[in-house]
Amino acid sequence: MQTPIVTAATPPARFTDDALWAAVKAEAQRQEAQLELIASENHTSREVMAAMGTVLTNKYAEGYPGKRYYGGCEHVDVVEDIARDRAKQLFKAAHANVQAHSGTQANIGALMALAKPHDRVLAMSLDHGGHLSHGHPKNFSGVFYEFASYGVEQHDERLDMNRVREKALEFKPAVIMAGASAYSRMIDFAAFGAIAKEVGAKLLVDQAHIAGLVAGGCHASPVPHADVVTMTTHKTLRGPRGGMIVCNDENIAKSINSAIFPGGQGGPFMHVIAAKAIALREALAPEFSVYARQVVKNAAALAETLAARGLRIVSGGTDNHLMLVDVTPMKLTGKDAENLLHAVDLTCNKNLIPYDQNPPTKASGVRLGTAAITTRGLRENHMRTLGNWIADVLSQPANASVAERVKKEVAELARAFPIYT
């Protein structure tokens, strides 16, 4: 069988695992045919994918460049040094660790470096847009540390830094975490830094969602204000699936390195680190700032269109790549809306909105993001079309002819803006 996407640097002449490659082919076709609105996803370059299909996957390299526990690391040392140097350059930080396999594992490393088990940590509530690794009781974070949370205000659905400060003064955490997976407003990292200093806490910023916007100059960087900054590499940063950590303090950098290996991981994924290096080079290029700015402009245009059509945008709009759309004005749950949109090839996820009356399995909102659709070339005019399609479908959920028409139009737009083909 011939596969439609070639991810290996030297692809085999023939792919023999038919069942497996059929599923990969179907996924490639799904990504081409559907418009990806999941705010945490993106479409990497072919070069990033190619790096992951190389011989680097064969190499064990426990340790760090120049200090490995295995022989034969001379070439992977070069790969990891390139990745680390580019991460430091891009985020203007003195130190980088590029080995974390995921954002959660980056947070495991950062918390191990900054706190002792059972220390207090203050983070944004998951119900208000935080993240599982910021203190969910079943996540390592909630199991090993004592968490309290801050959230958005009910009247404007935004963080009020005075209230965050009050919580920090009251709770006296060892670490304050900032960063979110469903918050559409700028985060004031300078204010978080000042609060952390005042209460004697370390500041850990998880910039997973906005790393690409920070890299592209569309969001203020947390690096000057935080003790440690963690991120994923596959969201707005548009790299391979993985995690990364940067910081400025040499002692903290040493603690992070030993918290990642041997603390939380064994051998690094050198093929993924190579792909991170390629993505970081792409993000250092001037075109990436243009991309990041377009992501933000697209999100604003989409939010405006949806609001004009009667959907409620949590906090009244967006400053970044995502928005939370309250679908209760259409008498739907988030789950209904996710399914209705999926049926017309618009992929998104249901999401709690702040102070949600529905359980997480139903939720009252959907989270929409523009990172992936901007990568495939869509601009503000397409966002207005897209917003009207979403409103058409959600305002007439029982109207099969509306769904049929929108699905056809989505297919035409997706065909006009191919990702890889």
309: burial class by Cβ within 10 Å (0-12, 13-18, 19+)? middle
Catalytic one among 44, 104, 230, 232? 232
Q: Could you confirm whether 62 is annotated as catalytic? A: yes
- When the beta carbons of 180 and 218 are compared against ligand DSN, the nearer one is 180
34: left (phi over 0), alpha (psi -120 to 50) or beta: beta
Q: How far is CA 163 from CA 30, 131, 194, 400, in A?
A: 44, 20, 14, 47
Position of tokens 């918050």? 183
Q: Could you confirm whether 297 is annotated as catalytic? A: no
Minimum distance between the CB of residue 271 and ligand DSN, rounded to whole angstroms?
Answer: 21
- When the beta carbons of 42 and 221 are compared against ligand DSN, the nearer one is 42
Q: Could you confirm whether 235 is annotated as catalytic? A: yes
Task: Out of 40, 44, 139, 230, point to the residue binding ligand DSN (CB under 6 A).
Answer: 40
Site string for ligand DSN, 60-89 (x = CB under 6 A): ------------------------------
Q: Could you confirm whether 188 is annotated as catalytic? A: no
Count interface residues toward ligand DSN (CB under 6 A).
Answer: 4
- When the beta carbons of 168 and 368 are compared against ligand DSN, the nearer one is 368
Residue nearest to ligand DSN (CB): 40
**What is the Cα–Cα distance from 256 to 114, expressed in whole angstroms?**
8
Q: Which helix (H) or strand (E) holds 259?
A: none
**173 cis-preceded (ω within 30 degrees of 0):** no
**What is the Cα–Cα distance from 101 to 273, expressed in whole angstroms?**
9
- When the beta carbons of 104 and 221 are compared against ligand DSN, the nearer one is 104
Minimum distance between the CB of residue 223 and ligand DSN, rounded to whole angstroms?
Answer: 21
Q: Which DSSP state fits 228?
A: E
Positions 125 through 164 that interact with ligand DSN (CB under 6 A): 131
Query: Hey, CA dihedral for 377, 373, 306, 319, is it positive or negative?
Result: negative
Contact between 233 and ligand DSN per CB under 6 A: no
Q: Could you confirm whether 18 is annotated as catalytic? A: no
Minimum distance between the CB of residue 180 and ligand DSN, rounded to whole angstroms?
Answer: 9
- When the beta carbons of 181 and 294 are compared against ligand DSN, the nearer one is 181
Site string for ligand DSN, 160-189 (x = CB under 6 A): ---------------------x--------
Q: Could you confirm whether 412 is annotated as catalytic? A: no
Instruction: Tell me how many helices (H) and strands (E) the chain has.
Output: 15, 15
**What is the Cα–Cα distance from 132 to 103, expressed in whole angstroms?**
11
CA torsion 154→322→132→360, rounded to 10°? 60
**What is the Cα–Cα distance from 80 to 271, expressed in whole angstroms?**
10
SS3 120: strand
- When the beta carbons of 181 and 320 are compared against ligand DSN, the nearer one is 181
Residue among 128, 135, 206 nearest 171 (CA):
135
Catalytic one among 32, 36, 80, 206? 206
Task: Out of 63, 103, 135, 179, point to the residue binding ligand DSN (CB under 6 A).
Answer: 103
The residue type of 160 is: D
Minimum distance between the CB of residue 82 and ligand DSN, rounded to whole angstroms?
Answer: 26
Q: Which residues are catalytic?
A: 60, 62, 206, 232, 235, 241
Contact residues toward ligand DSN (CB under 6 A) are 40, 103, 131, 181
